[in-house]
Amino acid sequence: MLEGWHEFYALLGTAAAALVALLFVAASIGANIFTPETTGATRTYMSPVVFHYTNILFLSLIALIPNQTPAWFGATIAIAALASLAYSVFICVRVVRHSFSDVADYMGYGLVPLLCYGAALVAAWLLLTGREFGLDVLAGAALLLLVVNIRNAWDLMLSLSRHNAEKVNRPPSP
C-alpha cells in the first residue's frame, strides 16, 4: 500500500528530524531567555513546534515500516491523530488566552494544526474503510503541518531574538 510513498515519507521524516535538531540548537544558544517568567510562553509556543515536528517524524517512521496492513496503519494514524488533536485543542486555548498573540499566531499555532490533525483522522478513516485516497489526504495534512511549523519555528526564533536584544540593550538597573 505505501510502496510508492517511500521516498516521500523518508524525505518528510528527514526534514522534520533536521528541523527539530536546528530548533534545539537555537534554543540552546538562546537559553538565557528561558526564565521562570517565560515558562508559560515556552509551553505555549515552543513545545508545540517540537511536538508537531516529532509527530511528522513519527508518521514518517510508521509509514516506512515494511509489510504493514492498511488496517494497522489506519488504526495507528487514528490513535496518533486523536491524541494530537486533543493536544492541539489545549494549545489553541493557550494561544487564545495569551494577549500578545496575533492572527498569524492563532492560525499557525492554533487553527492550522487542528485542521491537519482533523485531516489525519479523516485519512485514517478512509484507510480503515479501504480507500487509498486516504494516503493523499494524509500526505497533504503532513505537508501542511510541516510548512506551518516552519513558519512557527521562524516566528519563535524571531521572538526569542527580539527578546534577547531587548535584554542586552536594556540599561542596567541602579
| pLDDT per 10-residue tile (average), the chain, 174 residues | 81 88 70 57 73 92 88 94 95 80 84 96 95 93 94 81 67 65
Per-residue confidence (pLDDT) for residue 36, from 0 to 100:
56
Residue 172 lies in a domain: no
CA 73 from chain centre, in angstroms, equals 20
Per-residue confidence (pLDDT) for residue 78, from 0 to 100:
97
Q: Is the dihedral of CA 100, 104, 109, 115 positive or negative?
A: positive
Total structural domains within the chain = 1
Taking each helix axis from N to C end, the angle separating 47-63 and 70-97, rounded to the nearest 10 degrees, works out to: 170
pTM: 0.83
Residue 71 lies in a domain: yes
Rounded Cα gap, residues 25 and 45, in angstroms: 16
Rounded Cα gap, residues 81 and 127, in angstroms: 13
Residue 8 lies in a domain: yes
Are 171 and 81 spatial neighbours (Cβ–Cβ below 8 Å)?
Answer: no
Residue 56 lies in a domain: yes
Are 81 and 117 spatial neighbours (Cβ–Cβ below 8 Å)?
Answer: yes
Q: Which domain holds residue 100?
A: 3-26+36-160
Residue 80 lies in a domain: yes
Per-residue confidence (pLDDT) for residue 35, from 0 to 100:
58
Grid cell listed for 163: 527578546
Residue 169 lies in a domain: no
